[in-house]
Amino acid sequence: MFENVVKVINFVNWSLVVATTAVVMSSWQMWAQRKHNRVSVTPHLSEHTRTSVNNGVISLQFNIANNGIGPAFINSFTVLHNGKKVDKDTDVPQLVAGRSKVNILHSSTHWLAKGASLAVNEKLTLFSLDVGQGSKNLKQELEAAFDEYDLVIEYSNAYKEHFVFDTREV
């Protein structure tokens, strides 16, 4: 009879050890998976400025792209001119062209609102300007004028982790 009790106790102890080990391993695996999931939805914003001259028309574009592996949710969008905040009603390409007194053929401005999002591999033209060919150094003048502007975008991923894209730090 005593042998049966010892067998039952040994059986119960091993069952408890196996069950505890399974719970610990499952918990660790869930933690590791959650950590991996956070990394697998990390957005990354980058800028690209494009300048071209075709048929006497100078085209400048300032583009932003999300080349990360998750969507970017916009928390704030700020444009700075020489370190000072620019009002949202400001037409940046018009200001840039106005400095050189050129013939503006087309200009556009796109402001990102709080709550907007950029999907993975989405590219957005924030500022574009097309002007007629003017002085010999007009292209360089316009590029220099555009360089006076900086962009600060605060954004987050699906897990509400915050990131900052700042052209002053690039």
* pLDDT by 10s per residue, the chain, length 170: 556 655 655 556 677 778 888 888 888 888 877 766 666 788 999 999 888 888 888 889 999 999 999 999 999 999 998 889 988 888 888 888 777 777 888 888 899 999 999 999 999 999 999 888 766 778 888 888 888 889 999 999 988 899 999 998 86
Regarding whether 112 and 153 lie in a shared domain, the answer is: yes
* Global pTM exceeds 0.85: no
Regarding whether 96 and 49 lie in a shared domain, the answer is: yes
Nearest partner of 74 among 117, 43, 39, 107, judged by Cα: 117
Regarding whether 31 and 64 lie in a shared domain, the answer is: no
Regarding whether 159 and 87 lie in a shared domain, the answer is: yes
**What are the DSSP E strand ranges found in the chain?**
45-54, 57-66, 72-81, 84-85, 104-109, 117-118, 123-132, 149-156, 162-166
Domain range for residue 16? Answer: 1-39
Q: Residues with Cβ < 8 Å from 166, sequence gap 6 or more?
A: 150, 151, 152, 153
Measured between alpha carbons, how far is residue 164 from residues 53, 95, 105, 129, 159 in Å? 33, 26, 34, 26, 15
Per the CB < 8 A criterion, the answer to whether 64 and 133 are in contact is no
Regarding whether 106 and 136 lie in a shared domain, the answer is: yes
Q: What is the DSSP string of 37-75?
A: HHHTT---EEEEEEEEEETTEEEEEEEEEE-SSS-EEEE
Regarding whether 99 and 80 lie in a shared domain, the answer is: yes
Q: What is the tally of structural domains in the chain?
A: 2
Return the pLDDT at 73: 96
Per the CB < 8 A criterion, the answer to whether 127 and 92 are in contact is yes
